[in-house]
Amino acid sequence: MRLGRRELVAFVALGLVSLFADMTYEGARSVLGAYLDVLGAGAVVAGLVAVGDFLGYVARGAGGMLAHGLRSSKAYWALVFLGYAINLFAVPALAFAGNWEVALTLILIERIGKGLRTPARDTILAEVTEGMGKGKGFGLHEVMDQTGAVAGPAFVGYALFTSGGTYSEAFKMLFIPALAALLMLSVACVNYPSLKGVSGVEEGKGRKASLGRSFWLYTASMSLLALGFMHWSLVAFHLRASGVMKDYEIAYMYVVAMLADAAVAFPAGYLYDKLGPKTLIIAPFLALAAPVTLLWPGFDGVSVVLVAAVVWGVLMGLYETNMRVTVADAVRPELRAYAYGMYGMIFGISWAVGNALMGALYPVSTYALLAFIALVEAASLATLTLFLRGFCRS
């Protein structure tokens, strides 16, 4: 089975949406800490940027419930447009912030917009890619997404260089990819305005919106994985605090991680279409391997950090492809937006709580920190095994 012309155009357009969107907000996020410093904010305020990610994951729950409750293709697309508009235009608006209070507010709003549109967008993407295999579809989409994530910081760096370090000019230039993203979103909507899965919701209004045991087992497993998945901000803190790397070298390691993410996305998706969610069995091991490589006494040097960055990036690649596809396969098509919302919210909250705990353990004991990660990843693996035993694609 292959994609029809309209599905193909919609798929490519959605990929370009993510490319240009990532150029916009990842470009800005690469310099947010420095920009807040320019505006006179302290380290505590800079740390509050992470609250935006938490709010974004909570917004995924709201977006998923709203999409499921509205039950129409027009509502799905409206949520995607609204979310992207908030997500994207909050970025060039930073050029006019004037003070750190306004800038921080825009940063938080941007994350909320991203969370709001994600469940409906992923539902549309899952349906559009049915003909080519959702694994390959999400994999190719992630490749385009990460192309933007790498190009965005380079774009901002160039803008800062040519403007003599003027942040307002750099943020204004990000209006260009933001507008391009919305234009591509319009192309996707015109070519695929009606979702078959949403029609299923409308026809089955009397059916109970139960996500089922399989979905909750899977969500529990991935949330346990997130509980022990060290965020890059904590990785970067360790690299600087331990004196292993200079600031600019840490930034380069993040680029390495993003390139690893992009490199693994399509192969992982291809394997998913062959093997299904069994491809995720490696995920808990990767979540443990990265911090062990970084933190184990005696492990240091650029080569060790390079390996850890690649492992971290590979896990992110799995998260953005196979983990997302499994959500679509674990529930009925008409429940996908609701499922994506619940999954994203629980995963995000678990990730935030886990990194707070790991941040508290870091100065106390390296061994205690690694033991915590090993424990929760073992629990994740056990729960994932239970899910795989009873898994049947919906």
The pLDDT value given to residue 45: 77
| Top CATH class, 5-189 | mainly alpha
Enter the DSSP assignment of 60. H
Q: Please state, in angstroms and rounded to a whole number, the distance separating the CA atoms of residues 342 and 363.
A: 33
pLDDT (0 to 100) of residue 247: 65
* Burial call 115-137: b when 16+ CB within 10 Å, e when fewer: bbbbbbbbbbbbbbbbebbbbbb
Which residues, 6+ apart, have CB-to-CB distance to 293 below 8 Å?
Answer: 299, 304, 307, 308, 311
Q: What is the pLDDT of residue 206?
A: 41
> Are the C-beta atoms of residues 216 and 194 closer than 8 Å to each other?
no
- Grouping H, G, I as helix, E, B as strand and the rest as coil, residue 329 is helix
pLDDT of residue 51: 82
Look at residues 208, 137, 169, 224 and name the one whose alpha carbon lies nearest to residue 38: 169
Please tell me the distance from the alpha carbon of residue 130 to that of residue 30, in angstroms, as a whole number. Answer: 34
- Say which amino acid occupies 182: L
Q: Which CATH number fits domain 212-390: 3.40.50.2300, 1.10.3720.10, 3.40.640.10, 1.20.1250.20?
A: 1.20.1250.20
- Under a CB-based contact definition with an 8 Å cutoff, are residues 60 and 351 in contact? no
Of residues 179, 175, 135, the one with CA closest to residue 159? 175
3 state SS of 231? coil
Query: CB-side exposure of 331: number of CA atoms within 13 Å?
Result: 32
Distances (CA, A) of 316 to 168, 283, 332: 31, 9, 26
- What the block records as the tokens of 264 is 């693994």
- Residue 199's pLDDT is 57
Q: How far is Cα 72 from Cα 95, in angstroms, rounded to an integer?
A: 37
pLDDT along the chain (394 residues), means of 10: 84 96 90 84 74 90 92 93 96 93 94 95 93 92 91 88 88 95 97 80 52 94 95 82 75 84 93 94 96 81 88 93 93 92 93 89 91 97 94 64
pTM score above 0.75: yes
So what's the pLDDT on residue 129? 92
Q: What is the DSSP letter of 40?
A: T
Q: 383, 228 in Cβ contact below 8 A?
A: no
Q: Tell which residue, 119, 127, 103, 91, has the closest CA to residue 36.
A: 103
Alpha helices of the chain — where are they, by DSSP H? 5-29, 32-38, 43-47, 49-70, 73-89, 100-128, 134-162, 167-173, 175-191, 196-203, 212-227, 232-241, 247-275, 283-295, 302-318, 324-330, 336-361, 366-390
CATH 1.20.1250.20 in the chain, residue ranges: 5-189, 212-390
Q: Which two three-digit tokens encode residue 221?
A: 């497993």
Count other C-beta atoms under 10 Å from residue 44's C-beta.
7
**Spatial separation of the C-alpha atoms in residues 142 and 63, rounded to whole Å:** 21
334 in Cβ contact with 209 (< 8 Å): no
